[in-house]
């Protein structure tokens, strides 16, 4: 029943060859498709060029949308003006003070953008680090 004679009589060799060739050709097509996927992605990125609208136009429509307000960065005054605002707050605190205390004072006074303002004061040298997480106001910068 399972001899080579029965395989030959019932076209078993041909079926095996056709099955192997179907599997092999499927693998070849799959590997070719994977090797060309970068071209498909490039085509997708430039689809606006092929459909008649500019890429810039498409991006503006996606980001803005109907009636969406445009982004405007927060207005932060110059460092000298920030120093005039924050100097009295820092004098109210016992030196050396923690920046969290200064931040809480700014929240009580409803001063906008305290994180950015304190960062700019540190970078400009108005707030000097003393110990770990403790700062003092630079009195030499006041003059």
Residue boundaries of the structural domains of the chain: 4-35, 79-142
CA distances for 87 relative to 41, 79, 90, 95, 127, angstroms: 56, 12, 5, 13, 10
Read off the pTM: 0.47
Q: List all residues 6 or more positions away from 38 whose beta carbon is below 8 Å from its beta carbon.
A: none
Q: Average pLDDT across each block of 10 residues of the chain; the chain has 143 residues. List them in order.
A: 83 93 97 93 85 60 60 76 86 86 86 84 87 84 67
SS (H, E, C) 110-134: CCCCHHHHHHHHHHHCCEEECCCCE
């Amino acid at each position: 029943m399972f001899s080579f004679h029965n395989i030959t009589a019932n076209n078993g060799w041909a079926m095996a060859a056709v099955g192997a060739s179907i599997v092999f050709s499927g693998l070849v097509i799959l590997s070719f498709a994977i090797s060309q996927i970068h071209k498909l992605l490039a085509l997708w990125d430039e689809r606006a060029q092929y459909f008649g609208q500019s890429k810039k136009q498409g991006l503006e429509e996606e980001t803005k949308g109907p009636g969406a307000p445009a982004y405007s960065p927060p207005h932060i005054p110059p460092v000298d003006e920030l120093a005039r605002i924050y100097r009295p707050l820092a004098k109210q605190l016992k030196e050396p003070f923690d920046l969290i205390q200064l931040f809480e004072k700014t929240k009580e006074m409803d001063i906008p953008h305290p994180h950015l303002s304190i960062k700019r004061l540190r970078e400009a040298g108005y707030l000097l680090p003393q110990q770990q997480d403790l700062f003092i106001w630079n009195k030499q910068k006041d003059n």
